[in-house]
A and B are shown apart, each in its own frame.
Chain A
Amino acid sequence: ETGVTQSPTHLIKTRGQQVTLRCSSQSGHNTVSWYQQALGQGPQFIFQYYREEENGRGNFPPRFSGLQFPNYSSELNVNALELDDSALYLCASSLGTGSRSEKLFFGSGTQLSVL
C-alpha cells in the first residue's frame, strides 16, 4: 500500500461528457502528478501540481485541467471526452517535485472507458 488513493476505480462515460477524477496523496507529500496510461503503453505525463500551483505540463490539450487543494489532494478534469481518452489514469504523490531522487508513490489508478 502506497497511501495514495484514487477514486473512482472504474468509470464509463460517453463522448462529449466531462469527468472528474480524484486523488488523495500520501500524508506529508506536497506534490501530485497525473499520468495517462493507454493499454500496452507506458504512462504519459499530463501535469504536476506543487503546493497548489501547476508546476509542469505534458503534451495534453487544455481540456485536461487540474486542481490541487490545501490538503494536497488533487483532481483531474477532462472536458469534451473523446474515445482516445480511454485509459488508466494514474496519480503519483511525492515530497518535492521529483527533480532530485524523490520516490514517486502511485495510486492504483482510475480506469476510464469512453464509449
Chain B
Amino acid sequence: KNQVEQSPQSLIILEGKNCTLQCNYTVSPFSNLRWYKQDTGRGPVSLTIMTFSENTKSNGRYTATLDADTKQSSLHITASQLSDSASYICVVSGTGGSYIPTFGRGTSLIVHP
C-alpha cells in the first residue's frame, strides 16, 4: 500500500527562525514528489515539484530536497515569517497503476512573533 508519512505533526517556531519538515514515502515506482502549503480553510497551493532525477528545488525561502534511494524528502523554510503559518503537505505520485497522488497528513506550522 502506498503511504506518505510526515513529521513532525506540528511545529511552533519564532519569526525569523529556520525549520525543516520531513516526508517519508513508500510509493513505488516513483514519479514525482510535491510539497504544498495549505492555509486554514483554503485549498493547497503548490510550492515545489521534484522528479526522480532532481534532488533539490527552491522556491524563494522554501527549499525541498529529495533522496529517492531512501525515499525521503525534506522542506526547509528559511527566515520564517508569520505568513508561513499553515499546513505543509507532502504528495507523492507513482507511475503506472500508482499514478494517483498519495497525500501525507501534513505538518502544521505556527510562526510566533
Interface residues, chain A, with chain B CB atoms under 8 Å away: 2, 4, 35, 40-45, 48, 56, 58, 88, 90, 92, 97-101, 103-109, 111
Q: What is the bound-complex CA distance between A97 and B103, given in angstroms?
A: 16
Contact A45–B41 (Cβ < 8 Å): no
How many angstroms from the CA of A56 to the CA of B102 in the assembled complex? 13
Residue among A44, A99, A106 making CB contact with B43, cutoff 8 Å: A106
* B34, B43, B46 — most chain A CB neighbours (10 Å): B43
Write the residues of chain B forming the contact surface with A, with a CB cutoff of 8 angstroms. 4, 31-32, 34, 41-46, 49, 51, 89, 93, 95, 99-106
CB contacts (< 8 Å) of A108 on chain B: these are 41-43
Q: Which of B31, B41, B105 contacts A42 (CB 8 A)?
A: B105
In the bound complex, do residue B93 and residue A107 qualify as a contact, i.e. CB atoms below 8 Å apart?
no
Judge whether A98 and B49 touch: CB under 8 Å: no
Give the interface SS of chain A, mostly helix, strand, loop or mixed: loop
A56:B45 contact, CB within 8 angstroms? no
Q: Which of A4, A45, A100, A107 contacts B100 (CB 8 A)?
A: A45
Instruction: Name which of B44, B45, B95, B103 has the most chain A CB atoms within 10 A of its CB.
Output: B44
A107 to B32, CA, bound (A): 22
Closest Cβ of chain B to A4, distance in Å, is 7
Q: Are B101 and A106 in contact (CB under 8 A)?
A: no
Partner of A43, one of B44, B45, B49, B51: B44
Name the contact of B106 in the complex, choosing from A42, A99, A103, A109 (C-beta under 8 A).
A42
Instruction: Return chain B residues, CB-CB under 8 Å to A99.
Output: 31, 93, 95, 99
CA distance in complex: A106, B38 (Å): 10
For A92, list chain B residues within 8 Å (CB): 43
Q: List 9 A-B contacts (CB under 8 A).
A: A35-B103, A42-B4, A42-B89, A56-B100, A99-B93, A100-B31, A101-B31, A103-B49, A109-B42
